[in-house]
Chains A and B, each alone.
Chain A
Amino acid sequence: MAIGSRAPRLLTPLSTDRLNRWRRRFAAAMGLVFLVHTLAACVAEVQPPPTLRVLELKGEPYQRGLQHGQALSSEIKSFYTTMLGTSLLPYLNREQTDIAAFLKAYDPKLHPEYANGQFSYRLLLESAQELEKSIPPGMVEEMHGVADGAGVPYEQVLLLNTFVDAVLGARAVTLYLRQTQSPVITLVEILPPAEGPAEATLGDDGLDNDGDGLTDEKAEARLSYEPTATAALTEVPADARFRFLLTDPDGINPTSVRVQLVVDGVSKVYVTGDASLVVKPFVLGNGKESPEDLDVIFTPPAGLPKAAVVTLGVQASDAKVLTEPPPAKARTMRLEQLTLSTRGYGKSGPQIRNLGASDGTTQPPSMAFALRGTATADGKPLLGHHFALLDAGTSHKHCVLQIHHPPGAPAFAMVGWAGIIYGFSGLSARGLAVGVTHADTLNNPLVGQVQKDLLAAKLIASGIPIGMAARQVLELDGTALQAEKRLLGQSHTYGWNVLLADAAGGLRAVELTAAAIAGQPLPLGYGPEAKDALGQPLSSVGTDDLLATVHFRSLINDLDATVIFPLRPQRFWMNSFYSSLRTFAGLGKVIGDAYGQWTAEKAQAVLGIPALIDPNDSMQAAVLEPAARRLWVAAGKVPAAKAGFREVVLPKWEGP
């Protein structure tokens, strides 16, 4: 360093003033950092997890399962705990007393393995192990991968993948038993007005009011009641009164009677005590009051409108209060719904739908629609699907779109849940779309077991879980017809309605049961060209569409046989039968109103229409465009469409 030159600045001793100045600056800088940090800490907000997880799964089945399990370990554990552990399993345990009274295999005293709260777990596990036998080996490997990836026992993953199929059969049996123990309508009679001059009665009006091919026969004004999808009576006098004979071995609580009158879609409910309603014990031939029967006579206060369609709903509870399982309740029949036309309307019974109006006791069920050609704006096919069954406040938090990329095979995607390797709707890169709804039936493996083993039977489900069957058609088939053939060749666990749409415009509807009872109608498939007995479209509003909700359109007598007890078709006991009819009709109207204009965007809007969507158990919604290999998926909120639709396009497949 040259003499006289300045020392390097850093080595220059700092004066006290400068030192203090630097100290102040340093303190100010640190203060600023502190302030920024604290302010940031006080405003930073945690963001919610995604409403829909999207998984790209590659490799062999086990590898794909492993990726699934690793990515969603926490969701799988929480879904298992919140859906099964703290919801479904304890809920099913409550049914043990009822079931064990009928099926001794579940008596905890005779079979202690079902005691101490193990009933529901073992029930589902036994079904799962039986169902596993029908699951394709690749899917079993994939479930093992899920279990290993998530770090949970395989048994839990197997239960997650089979519980829907296992529970629905058991639910159908308990529902049916419940309905058979509830009051039933045995007779409907059309009465003339109590006073004053009457219009011609059904017995002398020169018309075939009940559609039995006979005119003015002796019992024309008396109808042996059975639930139907269309009007039961036509050309009824506008001044008619209605008598319903209700029967229940335990007697009927006269104060529980409700009659619903629906005119022009407007519903009014009358209850015991209303002037329009007379409720009295039925008097037997010996002059004594019947302990089992109740006469309900309803007089519409202002008569009925002429040349109109009117629906009457009737509901009552029996006189016995059951305390097990809690809460205490009487057996209550579903709101039975009878539609009729009044004089001058002109149409025959099968031409009039039995729609009525919701009284709030049921919600719209799952639905699906498939469109093509003249129905869509660009002529290309699309399939809309909304699934509602069991959200229980938790399913929607665990939704996953799984996109599979199997080696050497086309990609496919299914909308499902964490830990579950299937979904109820999906699309393949080959251009096949599928949507499934459940359709309650007693023609299921559990009833098959009862037929075989009688009271020694166990409620064990069998067949291929429907989600896996749907997935298999996405993996293996390229057209709706191929898929239909595959589905009809499989053994199924329960009743299902399946809609299929392919890139070439093939549309098929498949109605499935387990075909467990011999001599009953077999599963079948059809296209938009299918007609009912009157030559009306079976499940369509035009030539290029198919619709489905949860009732069978073709298999209307899915089971009518005696298996210990007389067993009846779904329309006799399915809780959602009438709401399914309404949803089907509502969907048809929406589709018909915009025929020829349908796009994926418009289809998404349909899946959010409140009148068509269950507000509580809505689980997932999807619009699938097979030709474009595009999916629009909404999930993660209730109802599902509230989450908004997310677009995913599958990679093009060049192979066969």
Chain B
Amino acid sequence: MQQLGNAALARGLRIALALHLIALWLLALPAQAANTTTLPKNVFILDAAWMDATTERAWDDARQPQSLLQGIQRYEPGGGLQGTITAQPKAQFRLLVPQILYGLTDDVTLALGMPVVTSIAIDPRLGWTPGVYQPSLGRPYSEDDFWQWAKSMGQKKPTSYTADAALADMVLGLRWRLPPIAFLDRAGVKAAAALQVALPTGKAADPEELVGAGTTLWDLHNYGDVEVHLGFDRPLTWGGVNRINFGADIYYSWLRAREMVSPTGSKNPLLLTHAPYIGEKWTLDPGDFLGFIGSVELVPLVGPTWSSFISGHKIERARSFPPLLTVSLAHNYVRVGQTRFESASKIWSWDREKIWKPGDKNTVRLGAELSLLRLGLPLQFYAGYRDQEWVPGRNTRAANILSFGARLMLRFW
């Protein structure tokens, strides 16, 4: 509504959440040293995670917290500033992420993630700062005045948006534990490379909706169409158990350009009549990500270890299983490139590009994993919390995610 008349509201409310799905499947592996672990040959893991992501805040160019939507000034033709629409939108995404992982060889693991956005709820939480005195009204516009005015021009006040379940872009990944490299090996460091590809199964946002979101990776804004990872782990062992692991992962995510349909204003004539001047289609080229994750995992409880059918009734093998409880702390720094909007209107494009300038995200992750393998059950449970507000980012939006999950390990032959 920089024209309830312009698209600022639209671009502001079309929330692109920063969900940290990235490397989810990698973290699903049943062991410490999460950056380099692969499954034994022919072992399956069925993993299901439930995630609740909330976004309320964005970081500006100076790393200062802002509302997801900056104030949008509205004008009375010839009457000056009507006022500023303020908003403190809150967006909540809930996802169920089933994953399947399979050990092709002892060194190569294949994974397929099928994120399903089970619900989206966006509350625009609109407010109003009055503008100048309006002679035609005898007062400045109140919020109610303004929306009455807008309605008389065919524009309804945006209300909360909800959406039902829809598949997001699926992810296919492959991790290859690299053969020992002499100098790394001497330092006790393991290395792995990974490749992740997204399949375009997500649903794009309805261009005619003012408040809304889709389920594509652009909407989720946290994993690329193609990602390349290089991961390292340096476990420290006491008493035959890896008690601490220092990990690092550097990755590059490429996000392809995609063609988008322009809104015609059929539902929001005042705010979303863009097609006449930007063309029927426009191109979105999201900024790529360059990320680094540093992590430390601690084992506070190794737990009792029993020989069981999953260890072939061998206690030595059971002792090689993950400890009963592992906790982790990680920091993920992601440099985000400039997102480009290419349309027939340079002005329209710039109005969007200026709020998608290069920036970064800082994610702090806390995690805990309960593994029952040593007790003879091929089950693991995990919980995590990822926060993007504790450490300021820049030109990005902060999504905080709570997640719970469970894994079942299987071997059929």
Question: A324-364 CB contact bits vs B (8 Å, 1 = yes)?
Answer: 01111111101000000000000000000000000011110
Please determine whether B288 and A78 come into contact, CB atoms closer than 8 angstroms: no
Please determine whether B347 and A398 come into contact, CB atoms closer than 8 angstroms: yes
Please determine whether B345 and A38 come into contact, CB atoms closer than 8 angstroms: no
- Pick out which of these stretches binds chain B: A14-22, A83-91, A237-245, A473-481: A83-91
**Considering the chains assembled together, what is the distance between the CA atoms of A91 and B274 in angstroms?**
18
B281 at the interface (CB under 8 A from A): no
Please determine whether A397 and B340 come into contact, CB atoms closer than 8 angstroms: no
Contacts of A86 in B (CB 8 A): 3, 5, 265, 269-271, 273
Q: A363 with B336: in contact, given A75-B347, A394-B5 (CB under 8 Å)?
A: no
Contacts of B73 in A (CB 8 A): 393
B362 at the interface (CB under 8 A from A): no
Question: How many residues on A have C-beta within 8 angstroms of the other chain's C-beta atoms?
Answer: 58
Q: A171 with B78: in contact, given A38-B252, A46-B338 (CB under 8 Å)?
A: yes
Interface residues on B, range: 35 or more
A614 at the interface (CB under 8 A from B): yes
- Pick out which of these stretches binds chain A: B37-45, B99-107, B140-148, B311-319: B140-148
Interface positions, chain B 75-107, Cβ under 8 Å from A, are: 75-78, 80-81
Among residues of B, the one whose C-beta sits closest to the C-beta of A256 is B138
Q: A45 with B357: in contact, given A327-B145, A393-B75 (CB under 8 Å)?
A: yes
Q: A327 with B148: in contact, given A42-B358, A81-B273, A394-B3 (CB under 8 Å)?
A: yes
A58 at the interface (CB under 8 A from B): no
The interface centre, meaning the residue of A45, A48, A327 with most chain B CB atoms within 10 A of its CB, is A327
A543 at the interface (CB under 8 A from B): no
Q: A391 with B75: in contact, given A74-B347, A82-B3 (CB under 8 Å)?
A: yes
Please determine whether A394 and B344 come into contact, CB atoms closer than 8 angstroms: no
Question: A273-310 CB contact bits vs B (8 Å, 1 = yes)?
Answer: 00000000000000000000000000000000000000
Please determine whether B138 and A317 come into contact, CB atoms closer than 8 angstroms: yes
Of A34, A44, A327, the contact of B144 (CB 8 Å cutoff): A327
Please determine whether A178 and B74 come into contact, CB atoms closer than 8 angstroms: no
Among residues of A, the one whose C-beta sits closest to the C-beta of B142 is A327
A-B pairs with beta carbons under 8 Å apart, 12 shown = A38-B290, A43-B337, A44-B337, A46-B357, A49-B347, A78-B348, A82-B5, A86-B271, A91-B77, A91-B153, A325-B152, A363-B132
Contacts of B81 in A (CB 8 A): 615-616
**Considering the chains assembled together, what is the distance between the CA atoms of A326 and B154 in angstroms?**
12
The minimal Cβ–Cβ distance linking A49 to chain B, given in whole angstroms, is 5
Please determine whether B350 and A49 come into contact, CB atoms closer than 8 angstroms: yes
Interface positions, chain B 303-352, Cβ under 8 Å from A, are: 335-338, 340, 344-348, 350
Among residues of A, the one whose C-beta sits closest to the C-beta of B4 is A86
Contacts of B146 in A (CB 8 A): 327
**Considering the chains assembled together, what is the distance between the CA atoms of A609 and B289 in angstroms?**
45
**Considering the chains assembled together, what is the distance between the CA atoms of A393 and B5 in angstroms?**
8
Contacts of B287 in A (CB 8 A): 41-42
The minimal Cβ–Cβ distance linking B261 to chain A, given in whole angstroms, is 17
Question: B119-145 CB contact bits vs A (8 Å, 1 = yes)?
Answer: 000000000000111011111011011
Among residues of B, the one whose C-beta sits closest to the C-beta of A333 is B138
**Considering the chains assembled together, what is the distance between the CA atoms of A376 and B132 in angstroms?**
36
Contacts of B6 in A (CB 8 A): 82, 393-394
A263 at the interface (CB under 8 A from B): no
Q: A392 with B132: in contact, given A41-B288, A74-B277, A80-B277 (CB under 8 Å)?
A: no
Please determine whether A329 and B337 come into contact, CB atoms closer than 8 angstroms: no
**Considering the chains assembled together, what is the distance between the CA atoms of A41 and B219 in angstroms?**
20
Contacts of A34 in B (CB 8 A): 252
Please determine whether B78 and A389 come into contact, CB atoms closer than 8 angstroms: yes
Question: A76-115 CB contact bits vs B (8 Å, 1 = yes)?
Answer: 0110111001111011011000000000000000000000
**Considering the chains assembled together, what is the distance between the CA atoms of A330 and B137 in angstroms?**
7
Contacts of A331 in B (CB 8 A): 138
A620 at the interface (CB under 8 A from B): no
